[in-house]
Amino acid sequence: MGNAQKALVMAAGIFLAIALITIAVVMFISAQEATKTAQDNFSGIQNELSSTSFNVYDNTIVSGSQVVNALRKYDNRQEFGIQVIVGTDRPSGAWYGDVVSSTGNIATTDHASQATESANTYGGRIHNSYYYTRPVEAEAIESRHYVNPAGRFQAIVVRDTSNVVKGLVFTQQD
């Protein structure tokens, strides 16, 4: 009877080990799914928070000083552009950073015609010559890109198909 008892204890041990391994695998798989869901939710929240800083520019009228502040604030942001159209620089204005189409695509010299065509939804204001300026030019009175701090500008936020903010367009009001 000693051998039968040892065999039963060994079988019970093997069964218990298999049960514990199965439980661990099931817990690991459900933890992976929960982690993925949490990461997706966190990513969504992060996108919302990053775009809330642009709400002040979402189809509103802003002052010239706010335009200059935006130029300074977003000067070194990757894949982002700001177009400023002042009265002396119509209709194309000046781009600060990347040239962005109305669909949020970053235009390159290879894609200039595509960017210009897709820009027609907000007036076709892509600057075809790809003349990039620095924010300091917006503050120099002698510059044709001078932004009057007391001026009034219509602000438009440009988003891509994923609803990520890719640019801003400021048009001086008459």
Contact 159, 165 (CB under 8 A): yes
Q: Which domain holds residue 117?
A: 56-172
d(CA 142, CA 65): 17
d(CA 23, CA 5): 27
Same domain, 39 and 63: no
Summarised one tens digit per residue, pLDDT across range 137-160 is 777 777 778 888 889 999 998 888
Same domain, 131 and 167: yes
Summarised one tens digit per residue, pLDDT across range 32-52 is 888 888 888 888 788 777 778
Same domain, 60 and 125: yes
The DSSP bridge partners found for residue 94 are 84
Summarised one tens digit per residue, pLDDT across range 55-79 is 888 899 999 999 988 988 888 788 8
Same domain, 92 and 145: yes
Same domain, 99 and 165: yes
Please give the pLDDT value at position 55.
85
Same domain, 121 and 43: no
Please give the pLDDT value at position 24.
92
pLDDT score of 10 more than 80: yes
Q: Exposed, middle or buried by CB within 10 Å (0-12, 13-18, 19+), for 19?
A: exposed
Same domain, 36 and 69: no
- What's the order of all strands across the beta sheet hosting 81-85? 60-63, 152-159, 165-172, 81-85, 94-97
Residue, of 95 and 113, whose pLDDT is higher:
95
What three-state secondary structure class fits 23? helix
Task: Give percent of the chain with pLDDT exceeding 70.
Answer: 77
Same domain, 89 and 29: no
pTM of the model: 0.60
Query: What secondary structure letter does DSSP report for 85?
Result: E
Same domain, 44 and 61: no
pLDDT score of 115 more than 60: no
Same domain, 78 and 154: yes
How many domains does the chain divide into? Answer: 2
pLDDT score of 111 more than 80: no
Nearest to 116, CA basis, from 92, 132, 80: 92
Please give the pLDDT value at position 110.
39
